Structure 1
Amino acid sequence: MVTGKTKLERILIWKTNSRGRITAELEKLIDEGELPVMPKFWEAGQEDKLAIDIINKCCSKVDNEQFSEMKDVLKRSLSQIRGYRELRDHVERMCKERYDRENEIHEKRLLKLWELLMPMENLEARMTNQWQKIGFQAKKKIFFSNYKLKISFGHDPATDFRGMGILSLEQLIFLAQYDVAHAQSILSHSNHPLYGFPMAVTGINLTALVRQLLQVNALKMHFYNTISGTPTIDNFHHVFCQVFKLFCAFWTRRKPEVVYFNKIKDDFETQLMVHLNSEEANLDKLDIRSFE
């Protein structure tokens, strides 16, 4: 159907409940080079001027009210696109920062995790088997789908952070500090005598999962649908919390032994991807009933 409007204009005036789809379509135009005045990279604060320049260059003449509406839509989408790219870089920097026992800040953060999860029990020492109570340093080897994470005899949880660096510690702290009820529920399920799992090590593995999802752009639709502007590291930590809650429910329903962790995690990831690939992707609205 010929409307006399450019592709960009049709996207900007599109009436849909899926905000994420609008941003995804605009991002496709940018990636395909269909917006000649659009730079490959831009900074925060430039979106307003960019939106005005793009609409003036690439759209037919519109009245002031419609121009303002189109500008707001484009400005929001540009902020989302830039923010997602910056978030990927931020997450990678955190992942590459190794846990350092000589770093006082790292050590304090690790002790903070214990205090949040075990407020009624003091650590007897920095090196202690007590860490096993929250899922560190279990006495088995567990093999995960993307890399092997060896859990050996010992008393120092710092060794478990080698795969995901400081990122995994910060995500566990975020869960324990800002989603207290679910953190305690997960900890309780993890200590089930038959169907338990090492909470901290599982969390580290789920950090690896959400980091991978971010890098392959599988979290774009979730963020584009739920965050009006630039997603932050806290928004990413929130994704981790949602995924951990869903995984715990998925695991509990299956009632497996820990030796089947790899199989259960793969099944969970497969079904999670189905939802993330949806135009309406929104982890905040997803619950275990959405899984088979």
Structure 2
Amino acid sequence: MSTVRRRRLYHEDVDGEKFEHLDSGGSGGLNEPLLSNDAYGNSQRFYDDDDVDDWTEKKRNEELVWTNIFSRLIAQWVQWFANVVLGSGTWLGSFFSRTLTGHQGNNQKVVALNLSPLQEERLQNLQRRLEVPFDGTRPDHQESLKALWHAVFPDRELAGLISDQWKEMGWQGPDPSTDFRGGGFISLENLLFFAKKYPKSFQRLLHKQEGKRSAWEYPFAVAGINISFMLTQMLDLRSAKPSSLSATNFLKILAEDEMAFDMLFCVAFEMLDAQWLAKHASYMEFNEVLKATRMQLEKELSLEDVSCVQDLPGYSLLSQ
């Protein structure tokens, strides 16, 4: 693994700090870990939901459940009081209704959103992309793999679709098709988009050119597959109508840019690497870094003045 040093990259997070160590206890994880044997011959997988299964986390989750139950009971009483006693048409009744709506949204992180025809169309297109598994026997998938190679190494000939050369891009073995599993074909599309749209950033992250690096670095291409899968879960894209706060804000961005998911992938990759450096992380800590990246993305997507991916603070990390 390259030990070339790289300069530190920063962007301000929503609290005004520069990549502080984030609490990685955020909810959500991969339904299916995407790694089996790692590049160093171990059986470690990048992402495992059981890594938060400790007593403190359980206690916190139980407290949150009871808090939500009591919040809903109080909210129902307030709604009844506003509608029946005060009347929803009165000023005070309207105040209670607005307060109730905001309170429920903050606790449950669920937002009602009526999708426009354009949002519906683009969401469905994205969901269709997510349903396509990678198939190494399909000629178009083979051509996409070759296109990725030539975008990354334009002056080098590829020996074949199965070759030890692929390890130089951060695949775990000579056959990249064995690494896709839960990521699907869209993760290859994301990597190819990143390589073509932001080649300087792509090359910098691939070759680990800046910063004090661990002796055990994350494999670049496989990390990209994990990022694609993480974004799918974070944005609730397999639901018929995503309703989380991050998802609804993303759908507004998607209405402005059909390639918003691919753009967000590029930002997420840069953020993950910056988190990696800030935490002085090594291979075994990839789970923690990926969770911290997800938490930071959720914060940035919640900012009121974000209407496109370029408005995210993390976008400033990218260079073409």
Q: Give the one of 150, 171, 176 matched to 1:136.
A: 171
Alignment partner, residue 116 of structure 1: 151
Larger helix fraction of residues: 1
Instruction: Write the distance in 1 (CA, Å) between the matches of 2:315 and 2:278.
Output: 11
Alignment partner, residue 59 of structure 1: none
Deviation string 1:197-251 (CA, Å, 9 cap, x unpaired) is 1111111111112222332441432553x56x5541x222111111112212221
Instruction: Write the distance in 2 (CA, Å) between the matches of 1:185 and 1:163.
Output: 26
Structure 1 alignment gaps of length 5 or more: 8-26, 32-77, 138-153
Q: Which amino acid aligns with 2:150?
A: E
| TM-aligned CA deviation for residue 195 of structure 1 | 5.7
Count matched residues. 200
Alignment partner, residue 263 of structure 1: 288
| TM-aligned CA deviation for residue 100 of structure 1 | 1.7
| TM-aligned CA deviation for residue 104 of structure 1 | 0.8
Instruction: Write the distance in 2 (CA, Å) between the matches of 1:265 and 1:205.
Output: 8
Instruction: Write the distance in 1 (CA, Å) between the matches of 2:127 and 2:208.
Output: 30
Alignment partner, residue 164 of structure 1: 183
Q: Tell me if the contact between 1:84 and 1:230 (Cα under 8 Å) persists in the aligned partners.
A: no
Task: From the superposition, tell whether residues 88 and 223 of structure 1 become closer, same or farther in structure 2 (CA, over 3 Å).
Answer: closer
Q: Tell me if the contact between 2:234 and 2:294 (Cα under 8 Å) persists in the aligned partners.
A: no
Alignment partner, residue 260 of structure 2: 235
Q: Tell me if the contact between 1:190 and 1:198 (Cα under 8 Å) persists in the aligned partners.
A: no
Q: Give the one of 219, 228, 232 matched to 1:211.
A: 232
Instruction: Write the distance in 2 (CA, Å) between the matches of 1:289 and 1:122.
Output: 33
Residues 1:96 and 2:131 are matched in the alignment = yes
| TM-aligned CA deviation for residue 112 of structure 1 | 0.6
Task: Please list, as runs of the form range in 1=range in 2, the aligned pairs for 1:144-223 lying within 5 A after superposition.
Answer: 154-189=173-208, 194=215, 196-215=217-236, 216=242, 217=244, 218-222=246-250
Task: Please list, as runs of the form range in 1=range in 2, the aligned pairs for 1:50-61 lying within 5 A after superposition.
Answer: none
Deviation string 1:45-78 (CA, Å, 9 cap, x unpaired) is xxxxxxxxxxxxxxxxxxxxxxxxxxxxxxxxx6
Deviation string 1:114-158 (CA, Å, 9 cap, x unpaired) is 111122322222211211111111xxxxxxxxxxxxxxxx42101
Instruction: Write the distance in 2 (CA, Å) between the matches of 1:193 and 1:265.
Output: 16
Instruction: Write the distance in 2 (CA, Å) between the matches of 1:86 and 1:187.
Output: 34
Q: Tell me if the contact between 1:221 and 1:276 (Cα under 8 Å) persists in the aligned partners.
A: yes
Instruction: Write the distance in 2 (CA, Å) between the matches of 1:230 and 1:270.
Output: 24
Residues 1:276 and 2:304 are matched in the alignment = no
SS for the counterpart of 1:189 is coil
Q: Which amino acid aligns with 1:109?
A: S
Task: From the superposition, tell whether residues 266 and 127 of structure 1 become closer, same or farther in structure 2 (CA, over 3 Å).
Answer: same
Instruction: Write the distance in 1 (CA, Å) between the matches of 2:285 and 2:209.
Output: 14
Instruction: Write the distance in 2 (CA, Å) between the matches of 1:201 and 1:105.
Output: 21
Structure 2 alignment gaps of length 5 or more: 1-88, 95-110, 237-241
Instruction: Write the distance in 2 (CA, Å) between the matches of 1:289 and 1:178.
Output: 13
Instruction: Write the distance in 2 (CA, Å) between the matches of 1:275 and 1:230.
Output: 17
Task: From the superposition, tell whether residues 195 and 155 of structure 1 become closer, same or farther in structure 2 (CA, over 3 Å).
Answer: closer
SS for the counterpart of 1:100 is coil
Instruction: Write the distance in 2 (CA, Å) between the matches of 1:99 and 1:223.
Output: 25
Instruction: Write the distance in 2 (CA, Å) between the matches of 1:100 and 1:190.
Output: 32
| TM-aligned CA deviation for residue 172 of structure 1 | 0.5
Q: Tell me if the contact between 1:190 and 1:197 (Cα under 8 Å) persists in the aligned partners.
A: no
More relative contact order in 1 or in 2 (CA 8 Å, sep 6+)?
Answer: 2
Q: Tell me if the contact between 1:203 and 1:244 (Cα under 8 Å) persists in the aligned partners.
A: yes
